[in-house]
Structure 1
Amino acid sequence: MRWFGFGFNAFGQIHVGEKLIKGECSDAAEEVKVFSPAELDCCSCCRVKTGCHIRASWSRRACLHLDGDSCVCLCGVSVKDSRGCKDASVSESHLTLAFSDRIESWDLQKEEKTPSWSMGITTESSGPSLNLPLVPGGYIATKPPFYRSLSPHLKAKSLALSAEHAVLLSASGAVYTWGLGSHGQLGHGGLTPEEEPRAVEALWGMPMSCVATGGWHSVCISDGGDLYVWGWNESGQLGLPSRGLRKALQQQRSQQAGATCQDARTSPAEESQEGEKNEEVFISIQAFPALLDITPSCEIRTVSCGSRHTAAVTTTGDLYTWGWGDYGQLGHQTLISSDEPQRVEFFSEQHMRVVDVVCGAWNTFAAVVKEEVA
């Protein structure tokens, strides 16, 4: 399995360019914006291989290596205190490590010899294996107080955290959300906050298998492979019509048309079509979950969200992305944003099948395997 990345690269999250090595600040597109999928650089002692999992924040990329003596690398540099860890998560300020007997959070902005926070785990309390940020009895937040308790009645299976809201998937497949709801990201139909986990009633009775959060939007996948989206759509991150993106595209086309034929006039038929386009319903905030059809013939396997973009992998191994693309995080080898899911053609052209995807705030990481030729 190989990992590729594209999008924001100002801190060397994808590859370390010449100017980054020299410590120079550069606005060059090839240093900061990677708009064509590039295979990840990694340290010489820990190659990116089968047991590697990616964790990402805005400026950091962590590689969790589970082959042999497990460890964590931050942008290629091995974290010595991570030997033997079972899971990891990274934020702008902290690296959290899960071991079989404890949870540790290390302050990345300070050089300390001990973790800034830790919590012991007993064999009896550990129960079924949980993935961070879930821990026995609760979850680990991105800022102090790190440990937050959860009601045992929720029976949490997985949890997705953004800076302002949380989405929980229960063992029964029900979805619960809480936190700030100013952009409809909680899915309850309003814009008000929720202090405690509240079931998303619109999804009740439809078991879900996966949840993810962006900056101000949320998504989930049903057991049948259907994708549901809700929250903010200003950059097309929900895959629904965005007025801002359509207007920008229309202006771009008008400028191109004006440059090629300044004297051209619009025919009555074209004016009629333009009128129909203007009547299209645009969505800025989707406060209830909406079903998003990416491709009629494929089910969705997994999904991840950046700050204002979304990426989904189908069961056939195709990667689709949509939303904000100013840093090339959509992988279409352009810097264009899109409010329509589009397949990342690079991987199919290279005869690669995508098996996993992880989004940082402004970038995307995809795990691929070589496609078997019949």
Structure 2
Amino acid sequence: MRWFGFGFNAFGQICSHEKFDKGDAVKELKVSTPTDLRCREDKSSCCCLKTNQVRASWSRRASLHAHGFGASVSHESCGACLIESRECKDASISESHLTLVFPDRIESWDLQEKDKTPSWSRKIINQAESSALKLPLVPGGYIASKPPFFHCLSPHLQVKSLALGGEHAVLLTVTGTVYTWGQGSHGQLGHEGLVSEEEPRTVEALWGVPISSVAAGSWHSVCISDGGDLYVWGWNESGQLGLPSRGLRKASEQKPGQQAGELCQDADTSGTTEKHEEVFIAIQAFPALLDVTPSCDFRTVSCGSRHTAAVTTKGDLYTWGWGEYGQLGHQTLKSSDEPQCVEFFKTGQMHVVDVVCGPWNTFTAVVKDEVTINLPLKPPDEH
């Protein structure tokens, strides 16, 4: 299995700055073409090891390896430093802390300090219970990206997974029910209003729709139903919901060329020359079914700050939203309010099996097409 990255690269999270010609500041900062993470030239990087999983924050990337966890913490002036921890099962990374999960404990390390001991730790008593959970979930609750790290969750929720946005949380139970809480100013909670919630509250609009996966961006939320449908809600300022965005359409109008003009055409299926005003969505305060053309079923989804990426059951990657740093992978710096397939992987006969979004970049795991026949839900590693 190989990992590719594209988007924001100011701190060398995707490509070492040494790969670019001197003075090519734009390419150093913005990587619009999916790039194999193994191409990094800094030998201290964990990319030389076999990567099983990737975690990302705004300026940092961490990689989970077969022989333990390696966290690549990059800085523009000092290259990358490597943190390795044997027997680590999962991790999460923020701008200030790296959290590691071991079979018997959880540790949070302050990345801005050079301490040889974690800044926070917690023992795990029931190791069997912890093996079924994935960060930010831990036994009895979840881990936040900054202190206080541990937050309790009611055992009655029977949590399957949890996604943390900028200021809100999206929780999925084992029965497929979705709960949200936190800041609601952009409709990201999906309760048909802009009110915040201090405690988990059921997203009533999804009642009767079993959900299999959830994701959260800075101010938007996405989930996948058992049938492979995408539901979106929250802020759509950059088209991150895949719904018509006035800001993006206005930007297209200001650009010359036929394509921009076509984007601004009003929809008219009546066969007459009469034009109808297009409906734009700034805030979608309750879940909306996202129509993707051509029709396809999705198996996993991830959200950046203002962009979204989802993988279909056939191994195609679709992205949409803010694209100023190339994080949509379409080899341009354009934003889009329509889900578009990333052709780079299709033309390279690569089958996408996983996607992880950082705030301004995207990381994908791929295998070659010839080894993806009867692909299980949990993709195998490529040797």
Q: Same fold (TM over 0.5)?
A: yes
Q: Unaligned 5+ residue runs, structure 2?
A: 74-79, 259-267, 374-383
Q: CA deviation at 1:163?
A: 2.3
Distance 2:179 2:294 in 1: 28
Q: Letter of the aligned partner of 1:203 in structure 2?
A: L
Report the Cα offset of residue 238 of structure 1.
0.2
The answer to whether the aligner puts 1:372 opposite 2:376 as a matched pair is no
- 1:372 shift after superposition: 1.6
Map of 2:330 onto structure 1: 332
Q: Which residue of 2 aligns with 1:363?
A: 361
The corresponding residue for 2:262 is none
Structure 1, unmatched stretches of 5+, are: 258-268
Please, which of 29, 33, 36 is the counterpart of residue 36 of structure 1? 33
* Structure 1 counterpart of 2:169: 166
1:48 and 1:276 mapped to 2: Cα distance? 56
Call closer, same or farther: CA 1:37–1:45 in 2, change over 3 Å: closer
Q: Give 1:364's aligned amino acid.
A: T
The yes-or-no answer on 1:64 pairing with 2:64 is: yes
| Contact 1:102/1:120 (8 A) holds in 2 | yes
Residues 12 and 20 of structure 1 are in contact (CA less than 8 Å); yes or no, is this contact kept in structure 2? no
Q: Which residue of 2 is the match for residue 192 of structure 1?
A: 195
Q: How far apart are the structure 2 equivalents of 1:8 and 1:45?
A: 18
Query: Residues 270-349 of structure 1: matches in 2 within 5 Å?
Result: 276=275, 279-349=277-347
Question: What is the CA distance between 1:20 and its match in structure 2?
Answer: 8.8
CA RMSD of aligned residues (A): 2.4
Matched, 1:102 2:101: no
Question: Residue deviations 1:51-101, cap 9 Å, x none?
Answer: 510000110110011x2x322231564314x22111000011100000000
Aligned match of 2:139:
136
- Matches of 1:20 and 1:138, distance apart in 2: 44
8 Å contact kept, 1:125–1:136: no
Q: What's the TM-score once normalised by structure 2's chain length?
A: 0.86
Give the corresponding residue for 1:262. none
* TM-score, length-scaled by structure 1: 0.88
Q: Which moved more, 1:127-136 or 1:184-193?
A: 127-136
Q: Percent identity?
A: 69
> Cα 1:54–1:275, aligned 2, differ >3 Å: closer, same or farther?
farther
- Distance, in Å, in 1 between the alignment partners of 2:296 and 2:168 is 30
For 2:235, give the aligned amino acid.
Answer: W
Aligned-partner Cα distance in 1 for 2:238–2:362: 16
1:308–1:275 Cα change, 3 Å: farther
Q: Which residue of 1 aligns with 2:224?
A: 221
Moved more, 214-223 or 288-297: 288-297
Structure 1 residues 204-213 or 295-304, which shifts more?
295-304
Deviation string 1:145-175 (CA, Å, 9 cap, x unpaired) is 1100001110111100022000001111100
* Aligned mates of 1:359, 1:44 — CA distance in 2: 24
Match of 1:55 in 2: 55
Choose from 173, 178, 184 the match for 1:175.
Answer: 178
Partner Cα separation in structure 1 for residue 241 and residue 97 of structure 2: 29
| CA pair 129-283 structure 1, distance change in 2 beyond 3 A | same
Q: Is contact 1:13-1:61 (8 Å) kept?
A: yes
For 2:189, give the aligned amino acid. L
SS of alignment partner, residue 348 of structure 1: helix
How far apart are 1:28 and its partner, in Å? 1.3
Alpha-carbon distance in 2 for matches of 1:299, 1:73: 33
Distance in 2 separating the partners of 1:170 and 1:309: 25
State whether residues 86 and 98 of structure 1, in contact with CA within 8 Å, keep that contact through their aligned partners in structure 2: yes
Letter in 1 for 2:246: R
C-alpha separation between the residues in 2 aligned to 1:222 and 1:48?
37
CA separation of 1:20/1:348 partners in 2, compared to 1, >3 Å: closer, same or farther? closer
CA distance in 1, matches of 2:312, 2:48: 23
Q: Which moved more, 1:92-101 or 1:125-134?
A: 125-134
Q: Distance in 2 between matches of 1:19 and 1:371?
A: 29
- Bigger radius of gyration: 1
Does the 8 Å contact 1:71/1:78 carry over to 2? Answer: no
Determine the C-alpha separation between the residues in 2 that align with 1:242 and 1:168. Answer: 27
Aligned equivalents of 1:338, 1:210: Cα separation in 2 = 23
| Deviation, structure 1 residue 9 | 0.1
Letter in 2 for 1:10: A
1:34 maps to amino acid: V
Q: CA deviation at 1:46?
A: 4.9
Aligned counterparts of 1:44 and 1:143: Cα–Cα separation in 2: 27
User: Residues 124 and 131 (structure 1 numbering): CA distance in 2 closer, same or farther, change over 3 Å?
Assistant: closer
Q: Is the 8 A contact 1:137 1:151 kept in 2?
A: yes
**1:12: which partner in 2?**
12
- Counterparts of 1:54 and 1:133, CA distance in 2: 14
